[in-house]
Amino acid sequence: MGLVKSTSNLFSLLFGKRKETYSRLFDSYRDFDEISKTVNLISKNNLNSKKIILDQKSTLGNEILGLKIGNLESQNKFLVTGLIHGNEFISGEICLRIAENFSKNYQNENFQVHFIPVLNPDSFVKNTEKLKNKKIFGRNQRTNPNGVDLNRNFPPERPESKYRTYKSKMSLEYSGEFPLSENEAKAISDYVLKENFKAVVNLHSFSNVLLYPSFYSQEKSKFRAIAESLKFGKENYTPIQGADFWRETALKRFVLKTLRGTTKICGTFDDWLLENQIPSILLEISAPKNIYDHIWEFLFCDVAIFNPEPKALEFHLENLYPPILQFFSSFKK
């Protein structure tokens, strides 16, 4: 009996929490349609903003859309992106909230910010539908529909790009057949080159770190100083040099070397940006404080761990808004 009882307690702990988290998720997180509606609404109601639609659609034909807000004549152009990984819901929601905040608080300064909250719409749509249909088992999709990790699909190819973690279609970090093979990566890289951005911020979750490029760059000292000077609103993120992300501990290094063949991260958007002399940082929005309530999600790389408590969204907005604007203003001409 004791065993049955404790097993059922364990089940309610794991699945009960899980169901509760998912049923609350869409009270605060907008799905793709709601994000599109918000984009339309801001661009309609705000003279200083305009809707963006990238030239190329996603693999399944969804639009990759967003907003530009600010002085639309200014050559000081900046970019914030979210949801290049389809399971990192908070990165899209926070990107949109920053856009909403910026549209209300912008005061004729000499710059404009472009916001693209969903770089991987196909997987985001698939994941939201799955959760709305209460299918709480199984992974949510990080890659695009071709199984490609879009944040490993950018040039240049590095010697480490040949390792199995990037070449295996089974891997969550599969880099695709060749750099920019995927519509989504091509769409955003074309857009960046067309707009000539002065700096870019990429939002991810959930590690509570600020990554600045890059393992492969000689320019590390310049970015390090800027990364370390950023003032967060509530809680500091640890600045780490991009491809060193996984190198913090000997254990992690050992595990990664065994599983992936390499500890180096290749083919990221940030690495490509730096190759094109465009400064960028990657913010990994932090996990919920009560991480042990989410141990199931953690074990299965599932949605809640990538998507902190809905009530924490306001916290993350207040935390990230100041350092993002500070980062951009250090590249304003």
CB of 92 to Zn ion, least distance (A): 11
Of 87-95, 153-161, 189-197, 206-214, the window that binds Zn ion (rule: CB under 5 A) is 87-95
CB of 211 to Zn ion, least distance (A): 10
Nearer to Zn ion, 88 or 302 (CB): 88
Footprint of Zn ion on residues 4-33 (CB under 5 A)?
none
Burial annotation 85-103 (CB, 10 A radius, 16+ → b, else e):
bbbbbbbbbbbbbbbbebb
Q: Give the CA dihedral 138, 166, 305, 224, nearest 10 degrees.
A: -170
Are the CB atoms for 313 and 82 separated by under 8 Å?
A: no
Nearer to Zn ion, 54 or 119 (CB): 119
Nearer to Zn ion, 215 or 306 (CB): 306
CB of 47 to Zn ion, least distance (A): 34
Residue 85 touches Zn ion, criterion: CB under 5 A: yes
Element (H, E) at 11: helix 2-11
Site string for Zn ion, 135-164 (x = CB under 5 A): ------------------------------
CB of 194 to Zn ion, least distance (A): 24
Residue 264 touches Zn ion, criterion: CB under 5 A: no
Nearer to Zn ion, 111 or 272 (CB): 272
CB of 149 to Zn ion, least distance (A): 9
Are the CB atoms for 175 and 164 separated by under 8 Å?
A: no
Of 53-61, 84-92, 122-130, 212-220, the window that binds Zn ion (rule: CB under 5 A) is 84-92
Instruction: Kindly state the tokens that stand for 183.
Output: 């519509």
User: Does residue 89 sit in helix, strand or coil?
Assistant: helix
- Please tell me the distance from the alpha carbon of residue 64 to that of residue 53, in angstroms, as a whole number: 6
Nearer to Zn ion, 112 or 263 (CB): 263
Site size for Zn ion, by CB under 5 A? 3
Q: How far is CA 195 from CA 52, 198, 205, in A?
A: 12, 9, 26
Among 30, 204, 260, 316, indicate the residue that binds Zn ion (CB under 5 A). 204
Of 85-93, 227-235, 293-301, 310-318, the window that binds Zn ion (rule: CB under 5 A) is 85-93
Helix, strand, coil percent values for the chain (each to nearest 5)? 50, 15, 40
CB of 302 to Zn ion, least distance (A): 14
Phi, psi of 211 (to 5 degrees): -100, 130
- Please tell me the distance from the alpha carbon of residue 312 to that of residue 29, in angstroms, as a whole number: 11
Of 164-172, 185-193, 202-210, 295-303, the window that binds Zn ion (rule: CB under 5 A) is 202-210
CB-based closest residue to Zn ion: 204
Q: How far is CA 161 from CA 32, 110, 166, 173, 316, in A?
A: 32, 40, 6, 11, 33
Of 31-39, 80-88, 175-183, 186-194, the window that binds Zn ion (rule: CB under 5 A) is 80-88
Nearer to Zn ion, 76 or 151 (CB): 151
Of 39-47, 88-96, 122-130, 185-193, the window that binds Zn ion (rule: CB under 5 A) is 88-96
User: Does residue 300 sit in helix, strand or coil?
Assistant: coil
Nearer to Zn ion, 111 or 245 (CB): 245
Neighbours of 107 (CB within 10 A): 6
Are the CB atoms for 51 and 67 separated by under 8 Å?
A: yes
- Please tell me the distance from the alpha carbon of residue 267 to that of residue 258, in angstroms, as a whole number: 20
CB of 204 to Zn ion, least distance (A): 3
The contact set with Zn ion (CB under 5 A) reads: 85, 88, 204
